[in-house]
Amino acid sequence: MFKSEELEINLGPQHPSTHGVLRVKLRLDGEVVVACTPVIGYLHRGVEKICENKTFFQGQVWTDRMDYVAAISNNLGWVEGVEKLFGIEAPRRARYIRTMLTEMNRIASHLLWLATHALDIGAMTVFLYAFRERELLLDLFEAFCGARLTTTAFRIGGLREDLPPGFIKQARAFQEVFPDRLEEYETLLSENRIWKKRTVGVARINAEDCIALGVTGPVLRAAGVPYDIRKAFPSAAYAEMDFEIPTRPEADTYARYLVRLAEMRQSHRIIQQCLDGLPEGPVMAKIPKILKSEVNEVYHAIEAPKGELGYYFVGEKGGLNPYRMHVRAPSFVNLQALPKMIEGRLLADVIAAIGTLDVVLGEIDR
Amino acid sequence: MSDPIEPQAPGEPEVPAGPYVYDYAASPQRQIAAPKTVPLPGLRAYLAEVAAQQAADEAKWKKMQADYETAKAKAEAEGKEPPKPPVKPVPRKDDTDMKTPWPQEARDPDLLRLQSLLGDRVEEAFEQAGELTCQVKKESLLEVLRTCRDDAELKYEMLADHAGTHYPAAKDFAFSLVYHLTSVSRRKRLRIRILVPEGFEPESACSVYPSANWMERETFDMLGVRFKDHPDMTRILCPEDWEGHPLRKEYPVVGWGQRDIDFRDDRAGVLMRIAMQKAGQMGINLKQP
């Protein structure tokens, strides 16, 4: 009467909860996931190959298209990696502005995560709330560089332009309203019984597994490891900033939600410090018009909203473009942990697990 | 799949018979400029290069002086005014903020410890741009990684990144593979590098660092380096039936060409002919695999 055979199903590649084109092969025993294999590559554009054939200045434009919800973080990694390769140091004011914009982008990325994650789980309202604040941030990006998503905000050696007039005022207006808005999300979700039922204890992964699998970012911090590249290997102006690394010991979906909310508070703090202590001075270092590299290799990692975003450059003597460019995409490495998180759990938790990893397929497939 | 693909000679493309235009010169992206140098960073290579440069400068200066002496003797013999003595060229100073990071000797305690632990398995250890690099023998990779992870003074718990680079101009190796290790507890980074020739299968790091699984699959997909004892050595980003490995230097940016398109409904072949014509005008060879 009852059949006990295992069922194999495909989740994606076209499924709203996969946040792009991720295909997950699942083997199910009833409603329990027995095996899970993520299949990626549907969005592969060969960014690394293209960047090898573009100059250091041109390649940066491609980094916007990787993690398209956190383009400024990608830009920061690229310009700082190239600066490390050439031995350039950006002026202090430029580094402050970079820090500020990157933190704004972190908030924007976390807001998008919150919106879509809650939408996946079934809380529709948060989506509208979160996008309302994200709009303010995108307006700020637009004021700064003219683009809302694919920003190419920074330049090698500093910034192309100083802050536009009125930017500080606009940013302070955002700073005014944002803490209250964060509390609005918390009232909607933090003690919501349905939300807690769908997230508490779901998609657990402990600290040892996280480190073994290379998982970084909020997922690692929600497992209790206070590892943040902004503190561990500070770049930009993070060494001068006063902020904390939020961690939680539970290592489940709810803990990651709390960690990301706390991170938004810390980002808000950093933006405030940048606004208050913004130094005067030039925003561009003196660099030659044509950058010719020497034989050198660097690996530069920054803390992107999803985790450790690393750029690996190999320079050729007299080369105008990188001999080899490799991106260590946080989502790519974090997605490896998906089978570990959901094997033996229910099918409905797969959706929560994909959401809580905060993957962006443009970055995974590159 | 690991067979190296014959690079397409850009000068003499195979022109299929037919009224199609295959103008490879008009499509610069199809041309492959094979790299002539081997930009492998290293202290020894750098020192050799500096010494060679100094020797060349010295020889040039000697020659300038000798030329001056002969010109002077000649002028004296002819009773003319002697020429101006040469000026030793000084390196030009540019006033930019760039301080190129050159390779430096290994002074970091981690590198010294690795050298003392591993002995002659370390081929080279140096620092550059504030980063530690340790090049080891390709056969002892797994052992080195295990040492880095388990040694109480090193404790590199996490494999942050793995990448490979293709060096077609090098003689005794074809790829350099780097492993970027991170010590979460000690906040340090270390780069382990091996050089492998074409066809060599390095050991998979999956048994030491499980995160190497997908990274090594990506290296295999992009460069064609297979790893021994890897749990699932398949392509990850490209489709399973993809030909070639895109990040090799002989692979053109636009690809080897499009594959044969099966126009099943196109009985009369009209669509096919139009597509071939259009592609031919753009310099794309649809018949190429």
The answer to whether A30 and A349 are in contact (CB under 8 A) is no
Same domain for B159 and B79, yes or no, is no
A116: pLDDT strictly greater than 60: yes
Mean pLDDT calculated for residue range A37-64:
89
Same domain for B56 and B130, yes or no, is no
Residue B120 CA to residue B137 CA, distance in Å, equals 9
Same domain for B84 and B187, yes or no, is no
Sheet (strand B158-166) strand order: B104-105, B122-128, B131-136, B188-196, B175-183, B158-166
- B285 domain-assigned: no
Residue B279 CA to residue B16 CA, distance in Å, equals 13
Same domain for B175 and B80, yes or no, is no
With bands split at pLDDT 50, 70 and 90, how would you rate the model's confidence at A204? confident
B127 beta partners: B104, B132
Same domain for B216 and B110, yes or no, is yes
Same domain for B189 and B125, yes or no, is yes
Same domain for B71 and B137, yes or no, is no
Same domain for B175 and B147, yes or no, is yes
Residue B33 CA to residue A320 CA, distance in Å, equals 14
Two tokens, residue A193: 């019984």
A315 contacts in B (CB within 8 Å)?
Answer: 39
Interchain proximity B35–A316, CB inside 8 Å? yes
Residue with tokens 């126009």: B263
- What confidence score (pLDDT) does residue B272 get? 72
- What pTM did the predictor assign? 0.84
What is chain A's Cα-based Rg? 21
Residue spans of chain B under pLDDT 50: 1-3, 5, 7-10, 13, 15-24, 260
Which of A169-173, A335-339, B271-275 bottoms out in mean pLDDT, i.e. has the lowest? B271-275
- B265 domain-assigned: no
Residue of B nearest to A333 (CA): B211
Two tokens, residue A92: 């202090």
Q: Judging by beta carbons within 10 Å of its beta carbon (0-12, 13-18, 19+), is residue A234 exposed, middle or buried? A: middle
Interchain proximity A233–B187, CB inside 8 Å? yes
Q: What is the extent of the structural domain holding B151?
A: 104-223
The complex scores an ipTM of 0.88
Using the Cβ of A42 and the Cβ atoms of chain B, whether some distance falls under 8 Å is answered with no
Q: Distance from first CA to last CA of chain B, Å, rounded?
A: 14
- B61 domain-assigned: yes
Q: What is the mean pLDDT of chain A?
A: 89
The strand ranges marked E within B129-214 are 131-136, 158-166, 175-183, 188-196
Same domain for B71 and B119, yes or no, is no
Interchain proximity B165–A314, CB inside 8 Å? yes
Mapped onto helix, strand or coil, the DSSP state of residue B198 is coil
Same domain for B128 and B45, yes or no, is no
**Distance, in angstroms, between A297 CA and closest chain B CA?**
7
Among B168, B192, B223, the domain boundary falls at B223
The answer to whether A354 and A17 are in contact (CB under 8 A) is yes
Cβ neighbours of residue A362 closer than 8 Å, sequence gap 6 or more:
A20, A43, A65, A66, A67, A68
Same domain for B109 and B172, yes or no, is yes
Residue B160 CA to residue B151 CA, distance in Å, equals 18
Same domain for B150 and B72, yes or no, is no
User: Which residue in B10, B6, B32 sits closest to B22, CA to CA?
Assistant: B10
Q: What is the CATH number of the domain that holds B151?
A: 3.30.460.80
The phi, psi pair for B269, rounded to 5°, reads: 80, 15
With bands split at pLDDT 50, 70 and 90, how would you rate the model's confidence at A121? confident
- B232 domain-assigned: no
A287 contacts in B (CB within 8 Å)?
Answer: 96-98
Cβ neighbours of residue B112 closer than 8 Å, sequence gap 6 or more:
B106
A311: pLDDT strictly greater than 90: yes
- B219 domain-assigned: yes
Using the Cβ of B236 and the Cβ atoms of chain A, whether some distance falls under 8 Å is answered with yes
Question: Who has greater pLDDT, B257 or A38?
Answer: A38
Interchain proximity B37–A317, CB inside 8 Å? yes
Question: Who has greater pLDDT, B17 or A48?
Answer: A48
Mapped onto helix, strand or coil, the DSSP state of residue A361 is helix
- B268 domain-assigned: no
- B8 domain-assigned: no
The answer to whether A364 and A329 are in contact (CB under 8 A) is yes
Q: How far are the Cα atoms of B146, B181, B190 from residue B161, in angstroms, in the given order?
A: 16, 7, 11
- B244 domain-assigned: no
B162 beta partners: B179
Cβ neighbours of residue B264 closer than 8 Å, sequence gap 6 or more:
none
The string of pLDDT tens digits covering residues A237-256 is 898 889 999 999 988 899 99
Cβ under 8 Å to A: B residues 40-59: 40-41, 45-46
Please count the structural domains in chain B.
2
Most B CBs within 10 A among A52, A245, A296, hence the mutation to make, goes to A296
Among B184, B199, B223, the domain boundary falls at B223
Cβ under 8 Å to B: A residues 313-342: 314-317, 319, 323-324, 326, 328, 332-333, 335-336
Residue A266 CA to residue B261 CA, distance in Å, equals 54
